[in-house]
Structure 1
Amino acid sequence: MDIILALKALILGLVEGLTEFLPISSTGHLIIMGDLLGGFSDARGKVFEIVIQLGAILAVVWEFRAKLGVVTRGLVTRDPTAWSFASNVLIAFMPAVVLGLLFHDVIKTYLFNPYTVAMALIVGGVIILWVEKRALTPRVHTIEEMRWQDALKVGFAQSVAMFPGVSRSGATIIGGMMFGLNRSAATAFSFFLAIPTMFAATVYDLYKNWALLSVNDIPLFAIGFVAAFVSAYLAVAALLKFVSNHTFVGFAWYRIVFGMLVLLSAYTGVVDWSAS
């Protein structure tokens, strides 16, 4: 195995895991880091991204295994709370399904580049600052209190994240807060909504790129998968603790600064993104 390529796989796996569930856009970071590192911009890179994304979402499944087990048993026993929870996740999931099928290829073709990512990072950061400054009074304090209308609104907010650089978690958490959820409920629902959303995206991308799979890439992909799983697990646990007594202002400024650095590097010629 190429040691340099293995190191790049490790770095990208860590980037995926650490950024997937923070409101800073994992897709945006992968596009930028992938262009800087090189080695994963070919067809194999597409499959690699699918594999590390799978590692990240499995970390969420493991983190919330107890809750998922309770909901699964509740569905079998027809518990109203479990059915309400599952219905809300399904309702919130549907906008991404419909819009994703309609615009997936167009977005992948024309918007996956460092320039659009940088702009989305900056705009998203400004929106987070605006929402935090408003000091909204929440109406929903737990995910069990959510109505189907709340779930649908969060689902449409999530669909905005199809634009690379927006951040799926950022869109759902901030969107949830705008629509009446408190910070903790919005964050928790974002994690649960990520499970069907990311699994569906992974299966769809894997189906489209099945022919690109190669046994020779298994060791390299395994490195990225494990790195993404471990780092995502740590990031999710840390974020759950963080939101209990912190705002997202720090993440907003990080997005703005990072986006501006990308644009500045392009303007000054320090990095030739067009050649990436």
Structure 2
Amino acid sequence: MAFSSRGIARQRYLALDLQSHSGKKESPMATYWAVILLGVLEGLTEFLPVSSTAHLLIAEHWLGQHSEAFNIIIQLGAVLAVVLVYRKEIPLLFTQSSSRRGLAYLGKIGVAFLATSVLGLLVKKMGWKLPTELWPIILALLAGSLAILLVEHRFQRNPVHEDGIGWTTALWVGIAQVFAGIFPGLSRSAATILTAVYFGVTRLEATEFSFLLGIPTMAAASLYSLDSETHFFHRAPAESWACLALGFFVSALVGFVSVKWLLSYVRSRSFVPFAWYRIALALVLLLVLRG
């Protein structure tokens, strides 16, 4: 996977003088509270169209930088949250051939995942590297806000015209994931959901497809990073096993609640409030940058 983890983006973007934090000896209690906060932020923002990268970036500016292994572990906690929400439906994807959620639906997830993987590898071979400044993440937040407003406007004028996720839509959703990897702050969930809605899919269908697609995408990216960063823990992570376990558990728990809430929210409400929230978050990042 070309975009192995947003943790890399967080580390490179932290050109915000995090060195001042690394020299501090924090008490175990302070460390655990930091782990809990970061786990909550990952679980809450991974699936909402608001950019988990931006939120964790702000948090790490004050709490100090954590290892890539920690970022991977809490992301895997978020993956587990989706698996738990869809624990009854996932097996049906492999066994049913004629239902709305059968083998064809699984094939569309595969098309989107394959598009992300192939294009992601091509982008990496072309020498693409993450930016080292904070400005791109702010611009991505604002661009995502504009995309939400434009797609919602289109949706209001042209309500649903596609019966579920089509093959072409699935392909474009996979391509959108690549853009989310190129521009951290755009948000994987925002990019995938908005793309499906743009092609006439209901908000609920688009959100569910994004969540289910996130399982193989995030799992593959996390495992790729885990191998490259720690060789599957042959190199010990900076954090204790207790901190890693706590971050994983908190991320999974909060992610489960976040997924369930968003699925309920999109049944009758638009994504417009998230656009205004993203604009406010971009302003906060500007203040962090100036500070």
The question of a shared fold, defined as TM-score above 0.5 by the shorter chain, is answered with: yes
Identity of aligned residues (%): 38
- Opposite residue 62 of structure 2, the aligned amino acid is L
- Opposite residue 172 of structure 1, the aligned amino acid is T
Question: Which residue of structure 2 aligns with residue 21 of structure 1?
Answer: 47
Question: Which residue of structure 1 aligns with residue 177 of structure 2?
Answer: 158
- Greater shift, 185-194 or 208-217, is seen at 208-217
- Opposite residue 241 of structure 2, the aligned amino acid is I
- Going from structure 1 to structure 2, the CA distance change for 1:215 and 1:48 (only over 3 Å counts) comes to closer
Across the aligned residues of Structure 1 and Structure 2, the Cα RMSD in angstroms comes to 2.0
Structure 2: state its 5+ residue gaps: 1-26
SS at match of 2:240: helix
Q: Counterparts of 1:206-217 in structure 2 under 5 Å?
A: 206-211=226-231, 212-214=235-237, 217=240
* 1:141 Cα deviation from its structure 2 partner: 4.2
- 1:65 correspondence with 2:65: no
- Structure 2 residue corresponding to 1:232, chosen from 255, 264, 269: 255
Distance 1:55 1:61 in 2: 10
Distance 1:5 1:103 in 2: 37
Distance 2:83 2:148 in 1: 27
Question: Which residue of structure 2 aligns with residue 2 of structure 1?
Answer: 28
- 1:177 correspondence with 2:200: no
- Report how many aligned residue pairs link the two structures: 256
- Opposite residue 50 of structure 1, the aligned amino acid is I
Question: Which residue of structure 1 aligns with residue 150 of structure 2?
Answer: 130
TM-score, structure 1 normalization: 0.86
The answer to whether the Cα contact below 8 Å between 1:153 and 1:179 also exists between their aligned partners in 2 is no
- Structure 2 residue corresponding to 1:52, chosen from 68, 74, 83: 74
Structure 1: state its 5+ residue gaps: 272-276
Q: Which has the higher helix share?
A: 1
Distance 1:186 1:259 in 2: 25
**How far does the alpha carbon of each residue in 1:244-268 deviate from its partner, in whole angstroms, 9 at most, with x for none?**
110001100000111022113423x
- Going from structure 1 to structure 2, the CA distance change for 1:216 and 1:254 (only over 3 Å counts) comes to closer
- Structure 2 residue corresponding to 1:12, chosen from 34, 38, 61: 38
Distance 1:68 1:260 in 2: 39
The answer to whether the Cα contact below 8 Å between 2:80 and 2:252 also exists between their aligned partners in 1 is yes
- Opposite residue 23 of structure 1, the aligned amino acid is P
The answer to whether the Cα contact below 8 Å between 2:69 and 2:237 also exists between their aligned partners in 1 is no
Distance 2:266 2:91 in 1: 24
- 1:219 correspondence with 2:242: yes
Distance 2:28 2:143 in 1: 39
Question: Which residue of structure 1 aligns with residue 56 of structure 2?
Answer: 30
- 1:243 correspondence with 2:278: no
The answer to whether the Cα contact below 8 Å between 2:196 and 2:206 also exists between their aligned partners in 1 is yes
**How far does the alpha carbon of each residue in 1:14-72 deviate from its partner, in whole angstroms, 9 at most, with x for none?**
100000000001122222222231141xxxx1010000000001010010011102122
- Opposite residue 34 of structure 1, the aligned amino acid is E
* 1:85 Cα deviation from its structure 2 partner: 0.9
- Opposite residue 155 of structure 1, the aligned amino acid is G
Distance 1:160 1:51 in 2: 23
- Greater shift, 244-253 or 95-104, is seen at 95-104
Distance 2:95 2:70 in 1: 34
* 1:202 Cα deviation from its structure 2 partner: 0.7
The answer to whether the Cα contact below 8 Å between 2:162 and 2:199 also exists between their aligned partners in 1 is no
- Going from structure 1 to structure 2, the CA distance change for 1:242 and 1:157 (only over 3 Å counts) comes to same
Distance 1:214 1:25 in 2: 25
**How far does the alpha carbon of each residue in 1:56-91 deviate from its partner, in whole angstroms, 9 at most, with x for none?**
0101001001110212233xxxx2442201110000
The answer to whether the Cα contact below 8 Å between 1:5 and 1:39 also exists between their aligned partners in 2 is no
TM-score, structure 2 normalization: 0.82
* 1:104 Cα deviation from its structure 2 partner: 5.3
